């Protein structure tokens, strides 16, 4: 099925004026399909168009009372001819339930056999479960009816009313784009509340009910705090009636901003102890989706090239509002360590792109741009813009934009126009530098007398302006900050007492978007000075500089590993420890460094850290997880698992037990029998997912796991991704070696059995990232160049190749030293 192009979308938007949708879902049957009827009223200025529908079987089409031939359906488009000024189109189709996270997803809970469904409409998915004109700038109100089993409840964009056994209606909505229409139906457990006249609700599977109830107060508190903050900030109330947050299974993202009914991955219904960082992340996800109610849902992009206006804005607001208005702190520390690091890597990849690209892609290709550019870089740029303009001007422009385009659509030009009317100046230049141009500058430090010289190196001619702070830190804990604005390629900054014995950090407050480089003296002093720096955000800036310098083969990875072991004892941020452990596992161990030589120092450092952390603390939990993943001490792991010698305060719950089992499988101490026994203890959907990861890690389970990943369209999203996660590991390099070339031959066919975001996510997860072999460059380049392969697979292969080339260069540069 061909994707919608921007030219087609613009023409259809000019031809049609949608008035309303009436959508009727019949979910009574127990088979793999369901029936939907869409009644669409619209005006037309052209006699021809088409409606989008991707069914198993098209049952009936009627236009203005005249039946049409269902056989005319062509590649997901049904042609419409003879359109009048006023039209009524009725389309009935038999649709297939989805397992790939898009369309109407059907999931069976392993805990009790109950069936749950939810709708995911983003980017080409809506026509997989209801006929529609599928593009963001064709908005209309929706009225929905549902027939379903009598023990089910129904939620959606409008308030739900049960009108009879197994029969529900949803209140007519405000005008919505197709991509955030949803339907949630099943025997969901519900928790209700109210705030400031707005009905609030939470929903989850029955098997997670006790866990949702335990966290309901925290979830509602975040919701109330964020609503109040957004009401103050945007000068208009939440506009979509009820506000439900439905935690749904087998979700392929963190959450989706459907007005009135946000769908959230039920991974965020925590079954046991989690870190403060994980709770804070959940809070930000909820605050992020709520920001979309104004920026994205109330005012929507015209086409996907302005998707950043949704995601960058929500990402920025999530950190800002979560920090200022909720009970969770350290949000900007997380941004620096986690989100910004993601974006910095993306912006240096071969697949980087502008935050707001001029090149207009089709709807399918736009999936690739849900990445670290559109989220993290865009958020950093907006944070920078608010500081540059002043918050009063920034907020005035944002509110004028929302008021001017309420329930409609707008683009970047119109956003800039409102900021300019509010008092902003020279935004065309800012837009060209930060939004229209990909890549990032490098800012380096050169000691000079009583100060430093900051050097700006740009990959292009954009000459971006940077407003930042320069910090000087001594081993005695002293710190001094000086503000600086970089307008030239080199500027001098006076630092008073100089830099001898200390560390100088450009952009110490993490205010700009650039690669930061430390001078040689600062690098040499880091092991002594880094533990004394009290600001976690500054430590994140330093670690991002170190991680990036290693990836660029400018810093010996062994020096970075020594810095980790030196700084870890004093690191008090669970965000920092968790982020650095992930970096070590993903990039350093088996990538930049030989696994067996590097793993030992990491495990030893984590073991020592664990001995000093407070029992029951977040630091204890995140450190314990890191130790489990790196130690080879089978006796230690089994003693934790059987409860005979677990650290005081560390709760070995079901999820941590599975982490232990996975590590014991990789060490060869556990096999299929132990996995089956653990699954017998944990007969939940979560247990099934964990077991899939563990079975994929079995030496004799590789072929079965590979077949599921590459050929089985029925496997659910979370189980699929778990199998991919468990497949590769440096300790199993010899076992998995035969599958490395098969990645390039087998992966392209996965786009034939799955669609949407999961295609690219699977490609990223199953890429052989620990195979650091120059012979892989050629097959990777061939796959990337093959235009018959799905764009998402080519994009992820390009990112894999970028990582491979970096690792090869790091090894070449430092192997003989």
Interval 605-611 mean pLDDT: 98
CA distances for 668 relative to 585, 646, 663, 696, 732, angstroms: 19, 21, 9, 13, 10
Inside any domain, residue 500: yes
Written as six digits, the tokens of 622 are 């995140």
Q: How much is the pLDDT for 477?
A: 86
8 Å CB contact between 600 and 608: no
Inside any domain, residue 418: yes
CA distances for 111 relative to 207, 518, 683, angstroms: 7, 53, 6
Indicate whether 27 and 155 sit together in one domain: yes
Interval 521-539 mean pLDDT: 95
8 Å CB contact between 50 and 78: yes
Indicate whether 17 and 66 sit together in one domain: yes
For residue 560, pLDDT beyond 80: yes
Strand 86-96 and strand 33-44: the pairing is antiparallel
Among 153, 177, 201, where does a domain finish? 177
Inside any domain, residue 631: no
For residue 816, pLDDT beyond 60: no
Confidence of residue 451 (pLDDT cuts 50, 70, 90): confident
- The Cα 564–Cα 394 span in angstroms is 39
Among 526, 558, 589, where does a domain finish? 526
Q: List, as own/partner pairs, every contact residues 349-354 make where C-beta atoms lie below 8 angstroms and the sequence separation is at least 24, other chains included.
A: 349/798, 349/799, 349/802, 350/798, 350/799, 350/801, 350/802, 351/795, 351/798, 351/799, 351/802, 352/438, 352/439, 353/438, 354/435, 354/436, 354/437, 354/438
Give percent above pLDDT 70 in the chain: 99
Confidence of residue 498 (pLDDT cuts 50, 70, 90): low
Confidence of residue 163 (pLDDT cuts 50, 70, 90): very high
Inside any domain, residue 110: yes
Confidence of residue 362 (pLDDT cuts 50, 70, 90): confident
| Phi-psi sector, 602: left (phi>0), alpha (psi -120 to 50), beta | alpha
Q: How much is the pLDDT for 132?
A: 98
- The Cα 514–Cα 148 span in angstroms is 53
Indicate whether 16 and 162 sit together in one domain: yes
Q: How much is the pLDDT for 557?
A: 97
Indicate whether 246 and 311 sit together in one domain: no
Residue entry with tokens 């300019």: 420
Indicate whether 258 and 309 sit together in one domain: no
Inside any domain, residue 777: no
Confidence of residue 497 (pLDDT cuts 50, 70, 90): low
Q: What is the CATH number of the domain that holds 475?
A: 2.60.40
Indicate whether 67 and 82 sit together in one domain: yes
Domain that holds residue 287: 188-294
Q: How much is the pLDDT for 428?
A: 87
Inside any domain, residue 340: yes
Q: How much is the pLDDT for 500?
A: 62
pLDDT digits (tens, 9 = 90+) for 751-785: 999 988 999 999 999 999 999 999 999 999 999 99
Q: How much is the pLDDT for 463?
A: 86
8 Å CB contact between 641 and 660: yes
- Residue 574: exposure state from Cβ atoms within 10 A (0-12, 13-18, ≥19): buried
Inside any domain, residue 591: no
8 Å CB contact between 495 and 480: yes
β-pair partners for 469: 483
Written as six digits, the tokens of 208 are 């997670």
8 Å CB contact between 312 and 378: yes
For residue 164, pLDDT beyond 70: yes
For residue 408, pLDDT beyond 60: yes
pLDDT digits (tens, 9 = 90+) for 311-336: 999 999 999 999 999 999 999 999 99
Strand 408-410 and strand 160-164: the pairing is unpaired
Say whether 40 sits in a helix, a strand or coil.
strand
Is the Cα torsion angle 487, 491, 494, 495 positive or negative in sign?
positive
Q: How much is the pLDDT for 528?
A: 94
Interval 539-549 mean pLDDT: 98
Indicate whether 244 and 352 sit together in one domain: no
For residue 481, pLDDT beyond 80: yes
Query: Into how many domains does the chain fold?
Result: 4
pLDDT digits (tens, 9 = 90+) for 637-684: 999 999 999 999 999 999 999 999 999 999 999 999 999 999 999 999
Among 526, 551, 574, where does a domain finish? 526
pTM here? 0.96
8 Å CB contact between 626 and 577: yes
The radius of gyration of the chain's CA atoms, rounded to the nearest angstrom, is 27
Beta strands per DSSP E along 249-294:
255-256, 261-265
Confidence of residue 367 (pLDDT cuts 50, 70, 90): confident
Interval 175-186 mean pLDDT: 98
8 Å CB contact between 114 and 138: no
3-state helix, strand and coil shares in percent for the chain, rounded to the nearest 5: 45, 20, 30
Q: What are phi and psi of 408, to 5 degrees?
A: -125, -150
Q: What is the CATH number of the domain that holds 341?
A: 1.10.390.10
Q: How much is the pLDDT for 346?
A: 96
Indicate whether 426 and 450 sit together in one domain: no
Indicate whether 374 and 236 sit together in one domain: no
Task: Please say if 417 is a catalytic residue.
Answer: no
Q: How much is the pLDDT for 499?
A: 55
Q: How much is the pLDDT for 379?
A: 96
8 Å CB contact between 143 and 158: yes
Inside any domain, residue 42: yes
- The Cα 138–Cα 152 span in angstroms is 31
Q: How much is the pLDDT for 815?
A: 85
Indicate whether 502 and 353 sit together in one domain: no
- CA-based nearest residue to 621, from 598, 658, 653, 582: 653
- The Cα 329–Cα 247 span in angstroms is 24
Indicate whether 407 and 451 sit together in one domain: no
For residue 817, pLDDT beyond 90: no
Q: How much is the pLDDT for 361?
A: 76
Indicate whether 60 and 131 sit together in one domain: yes
8 Å CB contact between 157 and 258: yes
8 Å CB contact between 622 and 277: yes
Interval 52-75 mean pLDDT: 98
Q: What is the CATH number of the domain that holds 123?
A: 2.60.40.1730
pLDDT digits (tens, 9 = 90+) for 109-127: 999 999 999 999 988 999 9
* Catalytic residue from among 124, 289, 417, 686: 289
Interval 2-28 mean pLDDT: 96
């Amino acid at each position: 099925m061909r994707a919608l192009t921007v030219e087609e979308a613009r023409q259809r938007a000019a031809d049609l004026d949608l008035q309303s949708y009436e959508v009727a879902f019949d979910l009574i049957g127990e088979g793999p399909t369901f029936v939907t009827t869409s009644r669409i009223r619209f005006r037309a200025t052209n006699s021809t168009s088409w409606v989008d529908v991707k069914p198993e079987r098209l049952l009936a089409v009627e236009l203005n009372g005249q039946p049409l031939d269902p056989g005319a359906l062509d590649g997901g488009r049904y042609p419409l001819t003879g359109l009048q000024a006023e039209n009524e189109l009725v389309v009935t189709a038999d649709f297939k339930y989805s397992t790939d996270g898009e369309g109407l997803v059907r999931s069976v809970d392993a805990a009790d056999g109950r069936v749950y469904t939810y709708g995911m409409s983003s980017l080409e998915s809506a026509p997989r479960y209801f006929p529609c004109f599928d593009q963001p700038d064709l908005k209309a109100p929706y009225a929905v009816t549902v027939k379903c089993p009598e023990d089910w409840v129904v939620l959606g964009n409008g308030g739900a009313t049960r009108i009879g056994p197994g029969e529900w209606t949803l209140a007519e909505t405000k005008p919505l784009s197709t991509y955030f229409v949803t339907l949630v139906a099943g025997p969901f457990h519900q928790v209700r509340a109210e705030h400031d006249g707005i009905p609030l609700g939470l929903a989850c599977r029955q098997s997670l009910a006790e866990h949702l109830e335990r966290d309901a107060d925290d979830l509602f508190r975040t919701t109330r705090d964020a609503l109040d903050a957004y009401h103050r900030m945007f000068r208009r109330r939440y506009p979509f009636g009820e506000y439900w947050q439905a935690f749904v299974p087998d979700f392929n993202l963190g959450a989706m901003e459907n007005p009135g009914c946000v769908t959230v991955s039920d991974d965020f219904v925590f079954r046991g102890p989690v870190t403060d960082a994980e709770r804070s992340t959940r809070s930000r996800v909820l605050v992020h989706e709520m920001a979309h109610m104004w920026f994205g849902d109330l005012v929507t992009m015209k086409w996907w090239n302005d998707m950043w206006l949704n995601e960058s804005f929500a990402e920025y607001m999530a950190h800002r509002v979560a920090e200022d208005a909720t009970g969770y702190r350290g949000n900007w520390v997380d941004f620096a360590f986690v989100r910004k690091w993601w974006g910095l890597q993306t912006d240096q990849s071969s697949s980087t792109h502008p935050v707001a690209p001029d090149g207009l892609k089709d709807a399918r290709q736009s999936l690739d741009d849900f990445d670290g550019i559109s989220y993290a870089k865009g958020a950093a740029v907006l944070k920078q813009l608010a500081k540059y303009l002043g918050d009063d001007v920034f907020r005035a422009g944002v509110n004028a934009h929302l008021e001017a385009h309420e329930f409609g659509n707008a683009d970047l030009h119109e956003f800039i126009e409102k900021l300019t009317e509010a008092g902003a100046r020279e935004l065309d230049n800012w837009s060209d530098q930060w939004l229209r141009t990909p890549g990032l500058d490098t800012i380096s430090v050169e000691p000079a007398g009583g100060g430093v010289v900051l050097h700006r190196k740009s990959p292009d001619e954009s000459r971006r302006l940077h407003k930042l702070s320069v910090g000087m830190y001594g081993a005695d804990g002293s710190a001094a900050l000086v503000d600086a604005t970089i307008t030239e390629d080199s500027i001098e900054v006076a630092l008073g007492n100089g830099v001898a014995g200390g560390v100088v950090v450009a952009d110490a407050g993490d205010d700009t978007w650039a690669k930061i480089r430390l001078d040689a003296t600062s690098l040499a002093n880091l092991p002594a000075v880094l533990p004394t720096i009290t600001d976690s955000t500054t430590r994140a800036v330093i670690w991002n500089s170190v991680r990036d310098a290693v990836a660029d083969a400018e810093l010996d990875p062994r020096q970075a590993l020594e810095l980790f072991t030196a700084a870890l004892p004093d690191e008090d941020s669970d965000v920092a420890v968790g982020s650095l452990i992930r970096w070590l596992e993903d990039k350093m161990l088996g990538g930049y460094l030989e696994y067996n030589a590097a793993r030992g120092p990491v495990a030893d450092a984590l073991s020592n850290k664990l001995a000093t952390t407070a029992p029951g603390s977040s630091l204890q939990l995140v450190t314990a997880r890191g130790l489990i993943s790196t130690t080879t001490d089978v006796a230690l792991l089994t003693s934790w698992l059987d409860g005979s010698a677990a650290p005081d305060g560390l709760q070995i719950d079901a999820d941590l037990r599975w982490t232990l089992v996975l590590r014991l499988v990789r060490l060869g101490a556990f096999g299929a029998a132990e996995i089956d026994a653990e699954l017998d203890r944990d007969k939940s959907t979560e247990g099934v997912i964990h077991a899939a990861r563990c079975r994929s890690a079995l030496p004799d389970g590789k072929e079965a796991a590979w077949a599921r990943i590459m050929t089985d369209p029925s496997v659910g999203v979370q189980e699929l991704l778990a199998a991919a996660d468990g497949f590769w590991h440096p300790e199993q390099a010899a076992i998995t070696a035969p599958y490395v070339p098969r990645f390039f031959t087998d992966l392209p066919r996965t786009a034939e059995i799955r669609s949407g975001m999961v295609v690219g996510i699977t490609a990223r997860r199953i890429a052989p990232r620990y195979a650091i072999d120059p012979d892989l460059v050629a097959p990777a380049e061939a796959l990337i160049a093959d235009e018959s392969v799905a764009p998402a697979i080519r994009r992820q292969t390009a990112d894999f190749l970028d990582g491979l080339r970096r690792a090869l260069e790091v090894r070449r540069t430092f192997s003989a030293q």
